[in-house]
Amino acid sequence: MTTFASSHAATADSFAPARTSRARTVALWATQIVVAGMFLFVGGLKLSGVPDMVGLFEAIGIGQWFRYLTGSIEVIAAVLLLTPRLALFGALLLIPTMIGAVVTHLFIVGGSPVTAIVLLAGSSAIAWARRHQLAEWYR
């Protein structure tokens, strides 16, 4: 009877990490899809020359080339987020971009930096969850 109880407990315990790992994987992919979708959308708006984006980058004062650069970074990083082996690099590309967006909202153009902060948090969480991929790239 002890054997049955101990083997049953071991079997029940062996499923717990699998469920946690699966839930973690689903949550990570859901985050990646949402963040990638946001960046595909906003990056596309920047690249297509939507008047609001042109005005925003005019207010920044660096020039419209910076709108194209930022939009390109966002679209490329979004595609990388949707590519399993490259998702870490997409997140790492977005972190400094979003830090720049937060700083720009706080000190140059005004407005709420909340969206940029949320996207920075999402990109950072993805990078942290996929940090093991960096070691794989060095092998």
Tens digit of pLDDT for each residue in 48-68? 999 999 999 999 999 999 999
In angstroms, the Cα distances linking 96 to 16, 25, 27, 89 are 36, 25, 23, 12
pLDDT exceeds cutoff 90 at 134: no
Tens digit of pLDDT for each residue in 93-102? 999 999 999 9
Q: What is the pTM of this model?
A: 0.82
